[in-house]
Amino acid sequence: MKHLVGSLGLWASLAMVLVPGLLSADAGRGSGYIQTSNAVHSSSSPTQDKTPGAASDSSDYVGADTCKACHEDIYKNWEKTPHWKTTLDTKGGPSRQGCEGCHGPGAAHVAGGGDITKIFIFKNHSAKEINDRCLICHASGTQQMQAISSLHAKSGVSCISCHSPHHAQTSEFLLVKAQPELCYSCHLQQKPQFSMPFHHRVNEGLLQCSDCHNPHGTVAAKQVRFSAAQDAVCYTCHADKRGPFVFEHEPVKVEGCESCHTPHGSPNPHMLKMSNVNLLCLSCHTTSFANAPGAPSFHNQAAQYQACTLCHAQIHGSNVDHTLFK
């Protein structure tokens, strides 16, 4: 009983010390804990968002119908695109709707008689400013996750270099030109590669550049995509070469398909880097090459052994033979 009374007395004493501090108007000065708590709450005052498209007063927005009064031709093109659907989305407020979702609040622009300095005109801004504005909505897309660090972004290529919200030539992705001509407008070196005797049929329309490359960036070199299994993008079509194999051809896993093939096009069958298959194999399989076995001494390549792949047929990998015979 004495222990119980003593415990109650201790708690009562603590309460007399702590409760006045909590209830007092000067609690912040009376307790170090209360001081810290008050400091946190007092410093959490709202700050203005500096990002493009930041929320403004609703009176700063005039709505897409007001824009249509002056920009009717542009509006007619725009209302046929997926961006028009933003006019129906009320969740984000007027800063995410219609024309002003991209160009910013238009009230000052209208009041100024069409003063272009009072609104965001894309062509008058840098690539970074344009990309930042587009990524307000598109940054969460699965294809744009690497956009800010992509080779295109680092080279000063903006979203409107390839896309046109108002005057797109393709209904899909709102491109200014259809592929591959859009890509060829910058990548001139790659254009003749697709005219080689053996090439991926991009010009014929069977493939597109974006089937293998993500123009918005990837973690791989040359913005190359990955297959669904997070493997080389080549396996998306060439699934029979994927494996896994019991006996791997090491360059396939270490260096990739490009160790033997030229992906865009080649004058050689199978888009090989060399016309002579033996020379291609011997670029690794020589006695001077540390990790690959050299050709046996009985391989007379002038007569019987004219092509390595006549015997080593399973060159991409085998499940039954370490020599890749079958």
What pLDDT does 25 receive?
A: 38
Are residues 287 and 216 both part of a single domain?
no
Q: Which amino acid belongs to residue 50?
A: K
Rounded to whole angstroms, how far apart are CA atoms 5 and 24?
29
**Residue 170: predicted pLDDT:** 92
Is residue 76 included in any domain, yes or no?
yes
Choosing from 160, 194, 225, the residue where a domain stops is 225
Residue 88 in any domain: the answer is yes
Neighbours of 303 (CB within 10 A): 6
Last residue of a domain, one of 161, 193, 225: 225
**What DSSP element (H or E) covers 247?**
strand 247-248
- Report the number of distinct structural domains present in the chain: 3
The confidence score (pLDDT) of residue 192 equals 96
> Which pLDDT score is estimated for 286?
78
φ, ψ at 247 (rounded to 5°): -115, 105
- Give which of 67, 76, 65, 51 is closest to 109, Cα–Cα: 67
Parent domain of 211: 142-225
Residues 209 and 173 in one domain: yes
Cα(33)–Cα(40) distance, integer angstroms: 11
Domain presence at residue 11? no
In this structure, is residue 290 part of a structural domain?
A: yes
Q: List average pLDDT for each run of 10 residues in the chain, which is 326 residues long.
A: 45 45 38 34 36 64 94 94 90 91 95 95 95 93 91 95 94 94 96 96 96 94 81 88 89 87 95 91 74 70 74 91 88
